[in-house]
Amino acid sequence: MIDAIPAVDTKRIHRIFEAQQANQYNVAESSAKERIRKLQLLSDAVMKYRPEIREALYKDYRRPVAEVDLAEIFPITSKIKHAKRNLRSWMAPHKVATPRSLIGSSSWVHYEPKGVCLIISPWNYPIQLALGPLISAVAAGNTAIIKPSESTPHSSAMLRKIVEEVFEEKEVAVVEGDVDTATALLDLPFNHIFFTGSPEVGKIVMVAAAKNLASVTLELGGKSPTIVDETADIGTAASQITWTKYSNNGQICIAPDYVLVHESKLDAFVAAVKSRIREYYGENAAESDSYMRIINARNFRRVKSYLDDSIQAGAKVVHGGKTDASDNYIEPTVVTDLPLDSPLMQHEIFGPVMPVVPYRDLQEAIDLIRSKEKPLGLYIYSKSKQNVNRIIQSTRAGGTCINSNAVHFFNPNLPFGGSNNSGIGKTHGRFGFIAFSNERAVYKQILPSALDTLKPPYNDAKLKMIDMTIKWF
Ligand code: NAD
């Protein structure tokens, strides 16, 4: 059992940072073949320690084996496969067109690593949200320090073991610890900071990054809405939404936070969700091996207070509602009749409570979504092309699934990330490689340049040529 949070080890942090600074150009010069070899070693280590990873996540918060394999192991191995297949083309110089005014030259984009990077990760997917960004960082030729979450100490210890087996600390290292450790790291002049966590802490990270003008990728959270319109297949909607809402006990950044259902389908949708909950987790979810717990007492109290205060404000629990503080247990819960200013409709829930809100006209649903911060995910269940197009065009979100939830995360050809309050920058596949790269512009003069004829002294003939340049090019 791991109990104590490691204290800030400033000496170790500085030693690693300086070693990585000194080593960064060696790592940057590595070929695609060398980077692919390192990624393969990482994949092999994750597979080797798969049983221990399952055990660590069970100790941290009773994560079912199926969810560990599907949501921690598979994202890593599939991302590595994708990077291995595509890295040569990502790294290759990208030739760009030459305008007529610059005839006699050629230009391309050279992808250079940003340098020494910091990856700060959260607890809800402690392995894949630390190693996922690391795959992009390594693919792009950077060195990196990972600061995993203090809330999942067994998983963080596993991460350190895996990383230490694959990398020397002058290339990649894990520094465990809490806010104090994160703060000590954020004091250092990293070249890029990749943060995954809450919008509140994202702002702190961005302020710290500003001191060194470090670039940032911020993968944040917020309230991701789901719309179920009058044409939706209720069976599909209920089964998908129930799975993504209660998996990981609702502690998923792209979980459907609240569901907006056309009033004509409200009763059918609620009935279908209740029946799916029973099908997935049995009559008593507390006894189900497939049902997890809230990560810790603090988060248990947070979600319970949102529920209690919303009930006080008039919300009705139509399914579930039982809680057990001794086990951080909240039953899969469905709530209706919510005042829009109740806590469940104001804060990211990050727990197993599903607010269902009816709407009469699609514009009402759109207006409600627009009244909140831009979400990380927005999901639409509809058979109407017109409704789908209207929702996509009149709302903003990091990503959208149609007739599904959250699955866009698993397509590495799509950019993953939020917008403003739900995040800055994108990751996954080539987008992750770009996030950890500086796109360096390279211009090569091949033949004498026409611009040479415009050099001083500026006489009338040259002014005429400049006029012609403005007119013709
Ligand atoms: P968090 O923001 O509390 O913590 C994330 C990390 O930041 C941890 O490593 C923590 O130690 C560190 N941290 C906490 N306070 C800090 C501070 N003051 N200064 C510097 N570092 C600090 O988030 P969490 O509770 O671990 O995760 C839940 C949040 O993360 C939710 O909002 C969720 O939506 C979001 N999230 C987003 C994504 C995504 O991909 N966009 C993925 C998972 C979780």
pLDDT at position 165 is 98
Domains within the chain, CATH numbers bracketed: 10-220+423-439 (3.40.605.10), 225-410 (3.40.309.10)
Question: Would you say the C-alpha torsion 404, 407, 413, 416 has a positive or negative sign?
Answer: positive
Residue range 219-227: average pLDDT? Answer: 97
Q: How far is the CA of 182 from the centre of ligand 1 (A)?
A: 11
The reply to whether ligand 1 has any atom less than 6 angstroms from the CB of 118 is no
| 176 CA → ligand 1 middle, Å | 14
Q: What is the pLDDT of residues 27-83, one digit of tens each?
A: 999 999 999 999 999 999 999 999 999 999 999 988 999 999 999 999 999 999 999
Residue 266 predicted with pLDDT over 90: yes
Residue nearest to ligand 1 atom 34, measured at CA: 221
For ligand 1, atom 20, the nearest C-alpha belongs to: 182
* Cα gap 199→18, rounded to integer Å: 30
Asked whether residue 423 carries a pLDDT value surpassing 90, the answer given is: yes
Mean pLDDT of all residues in 330-338: 98
Residue in 119, 181, 187, 201 to alter for ligand 1 test, most ligand atoms within 8 A of Cβ: 201
Most informative mutation of 156, 193, 196 for ligand 1 (most atoms within 8 A of CB): 196
| Separation of CA 247 and ligand 1 centre (Å) | 19
Q: How far is CA 37 from CA 28, 81, 423, 434, 435, in A?
A: 15, 12, 31, 20, 21
Strands across the sheet containing 399-402? 316-319, 333-336, 353-359, 258-262, 225-228, 377-381, 399-402
Ligand 1: centre distance to CA 294 (Å): 15
Question: Which residue has a Cα nearest atom 13 of ligand 1?
Answer: 179
* Ligand 1 nearest atom to the CA of residue 221, by list position: 34
Burial of 289 (0-12, 13-18, 19+ CB in 10 A): exposed
CA 201 to centroid of ligand 1, rounded, Å = 6
CB 21 within 8 A of CB 170: no
Q: In 92-233, which residue ranges form alpha helices assigned H by DSSP?
A: 128-139, 153-166, 179-186, 199-211
Nearest Cα residue to atom 40 of ligand 1: 219
Residue 354: the pLDDT is 98
User: Rounded distance, CA 260 to CA 253, Å?
Assistant: 18
Which ligand 1 atom is the nearest neighbour of the CA of 148?
A: 9
What's 314's DSSP letter?
T
414 falls in which pLDDT band (50, 70, 90)? very high
In the reported structure, the alpha carbon of residue 122 is separated from the centroid of ligand 1 by a whole-number distance in angstroms of 5
The reported pLDDT for the residue numbered 4 is 75
Confidence of residue 217 (pLDDT cuts 50, 70, 90): very high
- The structure's pTM equals 0.96
**What's the mean pLDDT in 353-366?**
98
Catalytic residue positions, numbered: 219, 253
**Hey, whose CA ends up nearest to atom 30 of ligand 1?**
197
pLDDT attached to residue 453: 87
CB of 72 within 6 A of ligand 1: the answer is no
Percent of the chain with pLDDT over 90: 95
Q: What is the pLDDT of residues 72-94, one digit of tens each?
A: 999 999 999 999 999 999 999 99
Does the Cβ of 308 fall within 6 Å of ligand 1? no
Q: State which of 186, 198, 306 you would mutate to test the pocket of ligand 1, scoring each by most atoms of that ligand within 8 A of its C-beta.
A: 198
Segment 195-217 shows an average pLDDT of 98
Helical axes 74-91 vs 32-48, angle rounded to 10°: 180
Cβ count near 122 (within 10 Å): 23
Comparison of pLDDT for 454 and 258, the residue scoring more: 258
Q: Compute the average pLDDT of residues 354-378.
A: 98
Mean pLDDT of the chain: 97
Task: Look at ligand 1, atom 6, and give the residue with the nearest C-alpha.
Answer: 122
Q: What is the pLDDT of residue 3?
A: 63
pLDDT, position 61: 85
Distance 181 CA to ligand 1 centre (A): 14
What is residue 310's predicted lDDT score, i.e. its pLDDT? 98
- Report the pLDDT value the prediction gives residue 17, as an integer from 0 to 100: 98
Instruction: Give residue 2's pLDDT band: very low, low, confident or very high (50, 70, 90).
Output: low
Asked if residue 16 has pLDDT above 90, the reply is: yes
99 pLDDT above the threshold of 80: yes
Q: Looking at ligand 1, which atom is closest to the CA of residue 125?
A: 43
**What is the DSSP annotation of 240-303?**
HHHHHHHGGGG--TTS--EEEEEGGGHHHHHHHHHHHHHHHH-S-GGG-TT----SSHHHHHHH
Atom of ligand 1 at shortest range from CA of 200: 2
Would the pLDDT of 1 be above 70? Answer: no
212: confidence class by pLDDT, cuts 50, 70, 90: very high
Model confidence over 397-408: pLDDT tens digits?
A: 999 999 999 999
With a 6 A CB cut-off, is 221 part of the ligand 1 pocket?
Answer: yes
pLDDT digits over 231-243, tens only? 999 999 999 999 9
